[in-house]
Structure 1
Amino acid sequence: MIWDVENIQQYIVVAPWAVHSTYKFVTDDPEKMDLGYFLVLPFLLLRILHNQVWISLSRYYTAKGDRRIVEKGIDFNQVDRETNWDDQILFNGLLFYIGISLLPQAKQLPLWRTDGVLMAALLHTGPVEFLYYWLHKALHHHFLYSRYHSHHHSSIVTEPITSVIHPFAEHIAYFMLFAIPLLTTLLTKTASIASFAGYVIYIDFMNNMGHCNFEFVPKRLFDLFPPLKFLCYTPS
């Protein structure tokens, strides 16, 4: 993927926070240093790299024809429509910066807390997955589908970043949903840099894998253990 000038210019919106966090990281007393605040920008860049790897891998298998699921080429209109896939990463980054600035619980998070990691995992597998199912089902109702979710399904041959191509209101709904584990660990003072970063990377991984248009999980595993199809999320 090649970024044009407009793609690069949009990153200016996070520049003030990125500069301020770097300045504080360099000049603050080590005991007062907020590592989480400083790591927001590197984390955003890591997410972009993660997505780009999936895009390249998916296009490789699409061109090679190996393990493809939908046997069609990628439409140029789809490529143009999906060029803003990194907008949601920038928006997420702004929310992180604002949250750290406004919420005392979000400041000076430790690198790791086992209880917070377990809490985030349990909250996701419980209420978040349940609510996500019904949100997604509601988005396929004709009223919401025609106004919002149809934009996502305009991409017939999905790419990894097709997973995040939604109208802004739909992005807000997803952000609110996936914020449940993050805000809960903050309010219970069990949050850590690892639980935040790990959870968001997990969401990115599942989104990318589910829309990559090549069979990521070998089919022979399902032949050996058929019930796996009820337990494992796959692109097909």
Structure 2
Amino acid sequence: MLFFTRRRRVVPDGVDFKQIDAEWDWDNMVIMQTLLGAMAISSPLFPLFSQYHSKHHSSPVTQPLTSAYGTPLESLVLTLAMAAPLAGAFLAGAGSVGLLYGHIFAFDYLRCMGYSNVEVISHRAFRAFPLLRYLIYTPTYLSLHHQEKDSNFCLFMPLFDLLGGTVHPRSWELQKEVGQGKNDRVPDFVFLAHVVDVVSSMHVPFAFRACSSQPWTTRLVLLPLWPVAFCIMVLQVLCSKTFTVSFYCLRGALHQTWTIPRYSFQYFIPPMKDGINRQIELAILRADRMGVKVLSLAALNKNEALNGGGTLFVDRHPDLRVRVVHGNTLTAAVILHEIPGSVKEVFLTGATSKLGRAIALYLCRKKIRVLMLTLSSERFLKIQREAPAEFQQYLVQVTKYHAAKTVKTWLVGKWLSPREQRWAPAGTHFHQFVVPPVIEFRRDCTYGKLAAMRLPKDVQGLGSCEYTMERGVVHACHAGGVVHCLEGWEHHEVGAIDVDRIDVVWKAALRHGLSPP
């Protein structure tokens, strides 16, 4: 809920892969439960687990998950602390089932609230009722315990820290700063993604952090939750709210990923076109109001038939301060640099698309013969006339797949059926810029992945994988927006790709530490 959490985050950093991996296996919790079954021998073994508390404090960004990352002794004490008042109530004759569940829920709520990293309680409440600050702890109070291990020990009730003289002197001042939004950072860059399908919609940190920190794949554990994910997505569609799925920091610039709650198939239903464009437009205007510098459109959000590669929004709002970027210039550069220098002839499908046009015009300048698959002579001739006169001969129109039966380099910008792939000779490599990727049908051929770039090693706070990409790897259009932001370019990158800028963007990406995966 970015509208609630953006200005109230205590620690502004994202949860990175290192922290997720450190909290992955809570073996100590399992061991504790086993030892409780043999209480006679458990007590002497507790000191063996002392190193777990240092791991607990190694989690810089607190989350409800982090709260359970303690030693067996700590967990046992918490269990006893919860049981003691309940036992007293039952001994006094005032016990009940409602009291039992109410106490458990209140106890767990306070733990999760404290570890949520979002300041829930207003500092104004503590100013109006000073005693309250010693009766209930806050996420800020807990964060100081993680940063300064010799203070703020008594969580849930800071009164005991007051009596023991261990209250951190900045506890209330820091809470006020967080409550007033002084920790707030406006993102410099936003990548506007969309949902692929129902199952992949659960590949987000706020659903299953363990899954989202790995490349997406269909997991059996997610399938029973399909109805839940579907209902949530229906609600998001009805509410028409863009949500945030991840953020990271690179070279001092904050980068966020926002998601339009629309499935891939919805982009191909004509009546939904206006609604989707309206959602994208609202996200762009929101970013503009916030002061975002660059917003990059992902995959279908920049579909040519949908909004002309983002041209619609730039034309409609000529005074935008945020730069709208489709990122396809870097996508074209990645695909082109995958082609071996020895190649003299390629077969290009999706030849008249935005990417296909740019690839064809770039390759013909390198005196590489491009067989462009298209039934439209008008579109082909339009592209051919864009090429310098001395290179136009290298662009050749073909209308059938059998024309490429001797070409071993296929650039796939249009989905290929297994039957169409049969025309490729053995040893063919399929370079792809089509969504979704083609099925790897041919065992005697090789298939490239979607164009992507690896982020620099100094990226901070990155804790989720972008769809099927490896850790630290993002789609090329995402990386294109990152480069646009880091370079501080002031132009919009929408509509047709400027072929003359392909090498410029590629060199800029390498200069900033991005690299092919």
TM-score by length of 2: 0.21
TM-score by length of 1: 0.43
In terms of fraction of residues, the more strand-rich structure is 2
In terms of fraction of residues, the more helix-rich structure is 1
